Amino acid sequence: MNSIPEKTIGRLSLYRRLLNRLRAEDKTHLYSYELATLAGGTPARVRRDLMAIGYNGNPAHGYEVEGLIESLGHFLDTPQGQPVVLVGIGNLGRAILSFFTGRRPRLYIVAAFDSDPAKVNRVIHGCRCYPMQELPETVRGKGITVGIICVPAGEAQPVAEQLAAAGVRGILNFAPVRLHLPGNIYVEDMDMTMALEKVAYFAARKPNNVPGK
Amino acid sequence: MNSIPEKTIGRLSLYRRLLNRLRAEDKTHLYSYELATLAGGTPARVRRDLMAIGYNGNPAHGYEVEGLIESLGHFLDTPQGQPVVLVGIGNLGRAILSFFTGRRPRLYIVAAFDSDPAKVNRVIHGCRCYPMQELPETVRGKGITVGIICVPAGEAQPVAEQLAAAGVRGILNFAPVRLHLPGNIYVEDMDMTMALEKVAYFAARKPNNVPGK
DNA sequence: TTAACATTGTGAAATAAATCACAACTAATT
DNA sequence: AATTAGTTGTGATTTATTTCACAATGTTAA
Ligand SMILES: NC(=O)c1ccc[n+]([C@@H]2O[C@H](COP(=O)([O-])OP(=O)(O)OC[C@H]3O[C@@H](n4cnc5c(N)ncnc54)[C@H](O)[C@@H]3O)[C@@H](O)[C@H]2O)c1
Ligand SMILES: NC(=O)c1ccc[n+]([C@@H]2O[C@H](COP(=O)([O-])OP(=O)(O)OC[C@H]3O[C@@H](n4cnc5c(N)ncnc54)[C@H](O)[C@@H]3O)[C@@H](O)[C@H]2O)c1
């Protein structure tokens, strides 16, 4: 069976963001090559990606911005929205709170947790912060499915297990370690150290060694 | 010709980090399956990755931790080290400064820049901060090849062009836009919004739709 | 109405990456 | 010295993803 490539999911989310910006500029239609330029890619890949959501363009005007956004929403979002929790209110955790809290309607951080008593029971960047003890009841009580981990590397595995035990189904992990969880929990690693070393590697080699992406 | 897969580069950096931790625990040898468990992957992939650096293990004892670390360093690092600049001392920029400044010997942030006069001419998390005007001479003067972009989305393209013009060869980009630069400049995007939406997507689907990674 | 044009949707081909599977090897044991 | 056990290195294969390339299509203009 032909299922949707994992990378396509990420790009669909990117397309939607770009389209929302275009809509705000009153653009009503666009071609695959325009979206490809904005998203960084080829027109063929854009068309292939859009096949996944079953939205059809038109050879004369391309894709209708409004309809495509709606179609992407239908594909990517759940009707009831998806609240998110964050664990670890340190330097990075606070930056992320400032960015994601109260921004998107369907994907927003509803609570943050930390083991340090000095950091909890207050509001940071508009987000309520609680001690770790309250994590299970919050996650279970609100039916939260997504967690963000911003704790030190050594704490990431136990925190991930607590999240999984509480019912979270997907984790965005900023700690530079690989998590070992049951296979039905989706983990996406944001390993900045790895990314920076990769950049440094290619920055130091000759142009012909630099992949086009 | 068989060149090294791009993903292998990132994993080699991860292997090194894991090995450094093992060395600190006085482990002298390990097998591919052990490294695979730590890094999250298969033993075959670990062995295939290590083929790239030409370090040979031994069927009886596996890989020698010390020698492998050295070999990885030889492959990944440049002899002279690679200083890094960061642009955009906002919420995220400061978090990254706190994490990367003065940490690794070969890859460290030596200067940060911002267009806001209120944020410059001081030291944040141990890193000196300068106004944007001084970026070209700093980058050129110190032969800096790597830049990190932490400015708002709308400013990322012009900032990227300034970095490229000053001589930077690789960019780690945290702004949620795709940069358009000459093909000899390597760009790695850290798009947290995309990552979070991907997690949310898979968290909301059934287990059998969750890729194993 | 018809021809010209640029784009879509997609089967087929190409490329990239992961995995399989096994001969070759090393050290420990008999 | 021969045997066993368990791992490495890698050719071959499989799977994932991207790109090619072209018939089908909607629109515009003659
Ligand atoms: N700061 C960055 O830019 C950056 C960059 C790359 C990676 N990271 C990674 O992100 C993670 C967080 O980094 P940071 O700079 O914010 O660290 P930090 O030390 O500033 O913050 C960590 C927070 O986690 C809390 N914590 C510790 N153990 C906990 C536990 N068991 N349960 C709940 N909370 C706990 C601490 O109280 C603290 O508030 C680390 O794993 C780090 O490696 C951070
Ligand atoms: N904060 C996060 O956790 C987070 C998460 C995802 C993405 N991002 C992205 O990272 C980037 C930075 O986010 P932030 O939260 O730190 O924003 P911020 O507004 O806190 O900081 C942006 C900084 O960039 C500086 N700046 C603006 N224009 C500039 C220019 N032309 N040259 C130099 N400096 C300039 C500003 O003075 C400010 O200090 C944004 O693109 C954002 O979308 C941030």
pLDDT digits (tens), chain A, 213 positions:
568 999 999 999 999 999 999 999 999 999 999 999 999 999 999 999 999 999 999 999 999 999 999 999 999 999 989 999 999 999 999 999 999 987 777 899 999 999 999 999 999 999 999 999 999 999 999 999 999 999 999 999 999 999 999 999 999 999 999 999 999 999 999 999 999 999 999 999 855 455 544
Tell me the pTM: 0.95
CATH 3.40.50.720 domain span(s) along chain B: 82-195
pLDDT for the residue numbered A211? 56
CATH number of B6-74: 1.10.10.10
Residue B213 has a pLDDT of 43
Cα-to-centroid distance, A213 and ligand 1 (Å): 31
CA of A37 to C1' of D19 (A): 16
pLDDT at B211: 58
Helix (H) or strand (E) holding B60: none
Instruction: Give the span between the Cα atoms of B18 and A194, in whole angstroms.
Output: 12
Calculate helix-pair angle for B192-204, A91-100, nearest 10 degrees: 80
Q: In the structure encoding, which two tokens stand for residue B77, read together? A: 């690092």
Backbone angles phi, psi at A30, to 5 degrees: -155, 160
Chain centroid to CA B149: how far?
13
| Beta strand extents in chain B (DSSP E only) | 29-30, 63-64, 82-87, 107-114, 122-124, 127-131, 146-149, 170-173, 186-189
Ligand 2 center to B109 CA (angstroms): 17
Give the pLDDT confidence of B69-120 residue by residue, as tens digits: 999 999 999 998 999 999 999 999 999 999 998 777 789 899 999 999 999 9
Q: Report residues of chain B scoring pLDDT below 70.
A: 1-2, 206-213
Spatial distance between the Cα atoms of A41 and A101, rounded to a whole number of angstroms? 30
Report CB contact under 8 Å: A196, B78: no
Question: What's domain A82-195's superfamily in CATH?
Answer: NAD(P)-binding Rossmann-like Domain (3.40.50.720)
pLDDT at site B12: 98
- Contact positions of strand D to protein Cβ (< 7 A): 6-11, 16-21, 24-28
Give residue B101's pLDDT: 84
Query: Which residue's C-alpha is at the least distance from the C1' of C7?
Result: A59
Q: Tokens 């919050």 correspond to what residue?
A: A138
Residues of each domain in chain A carrying CATH 1.10.10.10: 6-74
Tell me the nt nearest to B59, Cα to C1'.
D7
CB B12 within 8 A of CB B52: yes
B101/B96 Cα distance (integer angstroms): 8
